[in-house]
Amino acid sequence: MSTTLEWRIEPSWPAPPRVRALCTTRGGGVSTGPFAGLNLADHVGDEPSLVVQNRALLRARLGLPTEPHWLRQVHGCRVADAVREPRACRADAVIAMGPREVCAVLTADCLPLLLCDAAGTRVAAVHAGWRGLAQGIIEATIARLAVPPRVILCWLGPAIGPETFEVGAEVRARFLAQGGKDTKAAFVPAPGDKWGDKWLANLYALARERLRACGVDRVWGGEFCTYSDPERFFSYRRDKITGRMASLIWIDPDAG
């Protein structure tokens, strides 16, 4: 399980003390209307000045060493380097091989993954919707971390849950075609569907299978549903016009 505070969720995982990680909720911000709370996305129609204030609140509350490495997420499988590439580059994951660079992804139903190695020398944040999973964003990130998979730790942050994430038959077919002995179990027929056109997909199970296939079996989290918890989470599927939470991870050399 993970610890939920007013405006953030802290992973319960055995990461090294110098690895800092969390996911925000929608609580504690200044945005209003459909973005009410701590919206951290500047591309969803929220008042820009309010997003700036929310990001400043985030930095102040956490004492962040730098501005998070915000990405321009495109549901692909490109991995950015927090040191070598500019903020707002097109990517769906970001890695840091040293201290003080804050990796971040924004989500409102897609699955955020936070990863680190057991020595606390490298970290990564991943944005994984079904398209990113199918294209190999997890595999690409693990490859870029360049450590044995057995030393990687992973936390699965808040995403749309398996009882509410409805997809079409073509999505299921794409995953089944990619193999994986447990893929079929990650899809169940949607209630009321008579023709096999609609399925409920388990993003958490699909991600865990991809991680296992890569050799990563130290995985925590996955107990949330953004769609079903409007007080804590933004959800695009539920509301269409909405904000975004942030999942962040960085190395603090003074913490351990």
Residue 227 maps to which CATH number?
Answer: 3.60.140.10
Residue 199: the pLDDT is 97
Q: What pLDDT sits at residue 256?
A: 66
pTM: 0.96
- Structural domain includes residue 151: yes
Q: Is a pLDDT exceeding 90 seen at residue 2?
A: no
Count of beta carbons in the 10 Å neighbourhood of residue 66: 12
- 3 in any annotated domain: no
Confidence tier at 214 by pLDDT (50, 70, 90): very high
pLDDT more than 70, % of the chain: 98
What is the rounded average pLDDT of the residues 186-206?
A: 93
Tell me the pLDDT band of 5, cut-offs 50, 70 and 90.
low
Contact by Cβ (8 Å): 233, 244: no
Query: Same structural domain for residues 175 and 143?
Result: no
**pLDDT of 100 strictly over 90:** yes
pLDDT(27) > 90: yes
In this structure, is residue 52 part of a structural domain? yes
Q: What is the pLDDT of residue 192?
A: 86
Judgement on whether residues 118 and 186 belong to the same structural domain of the protein? no
Residue 10 located in a structural domain:
no
Model confidence at 80: pLDDT above 70? yes
Q: Which of 100-114, 169-183, 223-237 has the lowest mean pLDDT?
A: 169-183
pLDDT at 3: 61
Top-confidence residue, 29 or 1: 29
Q: How confident is the model at residue 34 (pLDDT cuts 50, 70, 90)?
A: very high
Domain range for 178 is: 166-201
- If asked whether residues 100 and 174 sit together in one domain, one would say no
Alpha helices in the chain (DSSP H): 48-62, 130-135, 137-145, 169-177, 203-214, 236-239
Q: pLDDT per residue over 152-176, tens digit each?
A: 999 999 999 999 999 999 999 999 9
CA dihedral 75, 81, 82, 85 (to 10 degrees): -90
Question: Looking at the domain assignment, is residue 140 inside a domain?
Answer: yes
Report the C-alpha dihedral over residues 1, 160, 88, 139, rounded to 10 degrees: 70
* Residue range 18-47: mean pLDDT, rounded: 97
Q: Are residues 217 and 183 in the same domain?
A: no
C-beta of residue 233 within 8 angstroms of C-beta of residue 9: no
